[in-house]
């Protein structure tokens, strides 16, 4: 893959240890698989978030 599938810019390869991926410095495309499924959990309310924050 020489060109970005999003903007056709030049791709750069990034590596960390044995893991590597390609990224585009022009449009921030990254060839990293992600999960886009909702887990069905109830979102935390602002009040619960503040309470959790202040307990720390």
Q: Where are the domains of the chain?
A: 1-33
What pLDDT shows up at residue 47?
95
CA count, 13 A, side-chain hemisphere, 1: 16
What pLDDT shows up at residue 1?
58
What pLDDT shows up at residue 46?
94
Mark the ranges of the chain whose per-residue pLDDT is less than 70. Answer: 1, 56
pTM of the model: 0.49
- Contact by Cβ (8 Å): 5, 13: no
- Contact by Cβ (8 Å): 32, 20: no
**CA-CA distance, 39 to 33, in Å (whole number)?**
17
First-to-last alpha carbon distance for the chain, in angstroms, is: 46
């Amino acid at each position: 893959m020489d060109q970005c599938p999003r903007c056709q810019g030049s791709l750069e390869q990034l590596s960390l240890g044995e893991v590597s991926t390609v990224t585009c410095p022009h449009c921030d495309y990254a060839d990293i698989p992600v999960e886009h499924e909702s887990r069905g959990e109830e979102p935390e309310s602002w009040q619960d978030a503040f309470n959790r924050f202040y307990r720390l």
